[in-house]
Amino acid sequence: MKNLSLGLGLRLLLPLLVLTLIFGCKKEDESENEPQRTKFDLLTSNGWRITNFLINGTDSTAALFSTCELDNIFNYNSNYTYSIDEGPTKCQVGNPQIIETGVWAFANNQNLLVLEPGSNSEATYTILELTNANLKLEESFYDSTIMSTVTYTIHFVKS
């Protein structure tokens, strides 16, 4: 009788042991094998298109941008230059395809994106998010006409 119960116990435990070995072993996460991309690589590896423009948290995209502007592509190049391309839809047929160019830089441990550093038209944006698919920038400034701080948050997606 002891042998019978021992055999029955082994028959019940063996499948559980096999299932534990099969499903209990964690598959190696493939993303752990991929090298970590730097902010420089993420920013310069593709163009970016605006999807949302918030002013003090309110979505103002439709009020500020026409459809032909929302397909513009912002390119940050590895030689620290940038360009804004009209994208597939030009707002004015006679406009050049590239509507703006300049230089860019990182600052503050690559947490800030600076356009036209050192010039009168310098613009500094805090990088809120930078991934393979998303770029989110924020700029705050004091507007003396309304005597208040205004914050722009711009969400870009990979073009």
The one-digit pLDDT tens for each residue of the chain (159 residues) are: 555 454 545 455 455 444 444 555 555 555 566 678 999 999 999 999 999 999 999 999 999 999 999 999 999 999 999 999 999 999 999 999 999 999 999 999 999 999 999 999 999 999 999 999 999 999 999 999 999 999 999 999 999
The pLDDT value recorded for residue 62 is 97
* Residue ranges per structural domain of the chain: 2-33, 39-158
The pLDDT value recorded for residue 17 is 46
Instruction: Let me know: does 134 contact 159? Beta carbons within 8 Å.
Output: no
Q: What share of the chain is helix, strand, coil (3-state, %, to 5)?
A: 25, 40, 35
The pLDDT value recorded for residue 117 is 97
Which residue has 């209990």 as its token pair? 24
pTM of the model: 0.77
State how far the alpha carbon of 25 is from the alpha carbons of 11, 18, 31, in Å: 22, 11, 17
CATH fold label, 39-158: Lipocalin (2.40.128)
The pLDDT value recorded for residue 35 is 76
Token pair belonging to 25: 């072993």
Which amino acid is located at 131 in the chain?
Answer: T
